[in-house]
Structure 1
Amino acid sequence: MAKSKAANESEPVVIKKYANRRLYNTETSSYITLDLLSQMTREGREFTVVDAKSGEDITHNVLTQIIMEEEQRGENMLPVNFLRQLISMYGDSMQSMVPQYLEASMDAFRKNQLQFQEAMQGAFGGGPLAEIAKRNMQMFEAATSAFKGAGGLMPGVPGMPGVATPAEAEKDDEIAVLKAQLAALNAKIDKLG
């Protein structure tokens, strides 16, 4: 059974598009939406969209439609200048080279993204840098707790209640900012992983 599943995953799913604009997934025998096709693309699932009547491959048109819908939702990834430059390339003598260039550029971007993710996982996942990062975090937390003092007491004067000086308040603000930045970096690292 695992063998047939692996064979199915290597074959692109055939999606039929009917005249009423409905999309039919031949693998699951169900109607689907462009959102589901978008999700399949994000998951790396290959599919081919064919016109149900003529059998013509219309995958390009459907993928372009998905991009347009994503852009309309406010998920703008394509800057206006890029779109203008792309439009100006239609009919240009270099038009035939643009698809290969864009594909190679996107492949390079993806490879760099994967290398960065692997480097971050290696740095924070269990390598020697992970221990250093862990110790630095522990020292940072210890320094933060030392600056705060205990139970509202004035830092640096054990048992002496008081109000923090402006310099101490400024340090607390700096520490809070550093903590927020560190949390944001950790969130980005988790997202990349």
Structure 2
Amino acid sequence: MRVIRKYANRRLYDTQQSRYVTLEDLRHLILEEEPFRVEDAKSGEDLTRTILLSIIIEQEQGEGESEVFSNDLLAQLIRVYDMTSPLPLSRYLEQGTRLMLSQQKRMQNQWKQAVRNSPIEVMRELAEENMHFWKNTFNKTDQDAIEQDAPDSQDESPDEAESSGKTKSSDKNDKTPG
């Protein structure tokens, strides 16, 4: 696991790459599913959760329509913290988010397949499969007919032909009058 150290000056140092990193760099690590741990440089305290929350805040404040946490949702989350018996919200959100991400990946893969396989491409592939099937079918039928018409000696190996008393040389070259 990659270790990131946070110094008093609020700078983050990647010990694996020996360089300072930004929250954006850490966001990319998350997107690449690279595990890391952020720790305080002096005490060694785990600050990963705080840094992850900072990344979320940065994304929420960024430009565009990437807002995930509406004011109403944030207010509801604060109310959950104030409950006498808090709901197992963390586990529920983790599982729900995991499910949503896996479904999104599956949909993206299906979309890529659909784009790659335009209707014309799908029809072309089906036509090729059909042609391959029919060629194999006709070739097999022709081969079966040839094998049925051929003398039995062609099916035998040279050793089998000798043991049965038939040899190719005697069949073809023994045309001497007797």
Q: TM-score, normalised by structure 1?
A: 0.57
Which of 5, 12, 16 does residue 5 from structure 2 map onto? Answer: 16
Aligned-partner Cα distance in 2 for 1:129–1:101: 44
Aligned-partner Cα distance in 1 for 2:41–2:101: 33
- Structure 1 residue runs without a partner (length 5+): 1-11, 133-193
Query: Given that residues 123 and 130 in structure 1 are in contact (C-alpha distance below 8 angstroms), is that contact kept between their aligned partners in structure 2?
Result: no
Aligned-partner Cα distance in 2 for 1:32–1:73: 19
The question of 1:64 aligning with 2:53 is answered yes
Which of 66, 75, 79 does residue 84 from structure 1 map onto? Answer: 75
Aligned-partner Cα distance in 2 for 1:87–1:111: 28
Q: TM-score, normalised by structure 2?
A: 0.61
Aligned-partner Cα distance in 1 for 2:51–2:98: 21
Query: Given that residues 123 and 129 in structure 1 are in contact (C-alpha distance below 8 angstroms), is that contact kept between their aligned partners in structure 2?
Result: no
Distance change (3 Å), C-alpha of 1:92 and 1:130 = farther
Aligned-partner Cα distance in 1 for 2:120–2:45: 54
- Per the TM alignment, residue 20 of structure 1 is displaced from its structure 2 partner at its CA by 1.2
- Per the TM alignment, residue 122 of structure 1 is displaced from its structure 2 partner at its CA by 2.6
| Corresponding letter in the other structure for 1:80 | N
Aligned-residue Cα RMSD (Å) equals: 2.0
- Per the TM alignment, residue 96 of structure 1 is displaced from its structure 2 partner at its CA by 5.3
Structure 1, residues 142-191: CA drift from partner, whole Å, max 9, x if none?
Answer: xxxxxxxxxxxxxxxxxxxxxxxxxxxxxxxxxxxxxxxxxxxxxxxxxx
Aligned-partner Cα distance in 2 for 1:71–1:85: 17
- Structure 2 residue runs without a partner (length 5+): 124-178
The question of 1:73 aligning with 2:62 is answered yes
Matched position secondary structure for 1:95 = coil
- Per the TM alignment, residue 84 of structure 1 is displaced from its structure 2 partner at its CA by 1.2
Matches within 5 A, 1:98-177: 98-126=89-117, 130-131=121-122
| Corresponding letter in the other structure for 1:105 | G
- Per the TM alignment, residue 100 of structure 1 is displaced from its structure 2 partner at its CA by 0.2
Aligned length: 121
The answer for the alignment partner of 1:41 in structure 2 is: 30
Distance change (3 Å), C-alpha of 1:88 and 1:130 = farther
- Per the TM alignment, residue 15 of structure 1 is displaced from its structure 2 partner at its CA by 0.1
Aligned-partner Cα distance in 2 for 1:57–1:129: 55
The answer for the alignment partner of 1:27 in structure 2 is: 16
Structure 1, residues 73-121: CA drift from partner, whole Å, max 9, x if none?
Answer: 2342212211111111113245350100000010010111012112222
Aligned-partner Cα distance in 2 for 1:107–1:130: 34
The question of 1:54 aligning with 2:46 is answered no
Matched position secondary structure for 2:88 = helix
Identical aligned residues as a percent = 37
Higher Rg of the two aligned structures = 2
